[in-house]
Homo-oligomer: A and B are copies of this chain.
Amino acid sequence: MPRPSQLDDKRRELLPVVAGVFTRLGYRRATTAELSEACGVQENILYRLWPDKKAMYLAAIDFVYEFSEQTWLRLLERDGGGASSARRLLEYESHHHGEFGHYRILFAGLPEIDDADIRAALRRTFARFHRFLLAQMLTQRSGGGGAAACPAELAAWAAIGLGTIANISRELGLLDDAQRRGLIEQIGGLLLSSGGAGRPSAGRGRRASKHTLT
């Protein structure tokens, strides 16, 4: 028999490089020539690892979440000095949110959203972020007694929106580092204390749902 396949290893090795190019150039402007050059291989090699450019991009999308999750899990493994996981994540993100720019990979997918594969990959990625954040917010709840109130799920979505606008404002130079930090800290704290905790969300939620129809 001939030598065993090293395709899986090679994929793992090159994926961060590929993701880096998509981060820098987006989906359309990342040419296969650029991708292969950054990887230090010929284009052909990339086509043996992935069937086409779209597959490379789909792999990069998954990479975005997995990279974030790894970072967060590593953070939570460390000693937290008593603060809740959600608070520690918030603290961390207020200083490091978006520092690798991987969110650009997701931004690049939004204009391609009518492609079923890209849509599915983005959907999965946002859903995973939501699931992770929601879990963190729920563990911060007082006892864990009360049934899963609707607001926590919404607060988790709002937190993703907060991160998104923080990234956009970074890209556009609309907020500097300190302002972005304040944005994440203050609004993030607001979301945590309203959506995560059972206590204050009752009165506050009642007032906010003045217009609720359902």
Give the interface of A toward B (CB within 8 A): 25-29, 87, 90-91, 94, 104, 107-108, 110-113, 119, 122-123, 126-127, 130, 150-151, 154-155, 157-158, 160-166, 168-169, 171-175, 178, 181-183, 185-191, 193-194, 204-205, 207-214
A185: which B residues are within 8 A, CB to CB? 208-209, 211-212
Determine whether the beta carbon of B28 is less than 8 Å from that of A154: no
Do most interface residues of chain A lie in helix, strand or loop, or is the interface mixed? Answer: helix
Chain B min CB distance to A179 (Å): 8
Shortest Cβ distance from A173 into B: residue: B123
With a 10 A CB-CB cut-off, give which of A123, A172, A194 has the most chain B CB atoms: A172
Determine whether the beta carbon of A207 is less than 8 Å from that of B193: yes
Shortest Cβ distance from A172 into B: residue: B123
Determine whether the beta carbon of B182 is less than 8 Å from that of A210: no
Bound Cα distance from A93 to B204, whole angstroms: 20
Determine whether the beta carbon of A126 is less than 8 Å from that of B212: no
Determine whether the beta carbon of A168 is less than 8 Å from that of B126: yes
A-B pairs, 10 with minimum CB distance = A189-B208, A161-B165, A26-B111, A161-B161, A107-B110, A123-B172, A28-B28, A108-B111, A158-B187, A186-B208
Determine whether the beta carbon of A208 is less than 8 Å from that of B190: yes
Determine whether the beta carbon of B171 is less than 8 Å from that of A113: yes
Bound Cα distance from A70 to B4, whole angstroms: 64
A162: which B residues are within 8 A, CB to CB? 158, 161
Chain B min CB distance to A13 (Å): 26
Bound Cα distance from A127 to B165, whole angstroms: 12
Bound Cα distance from A91 to B182, whole angstroms: 28
A123-B174, A168-B126 are contacts. A182–B212 as well, Cβ < 8 Å?
yes
Determine whether the beta carbon of A165 is less than 8 Å from that of B172: no
A113: which B residues are within 8 A, CB to CB? 171-172
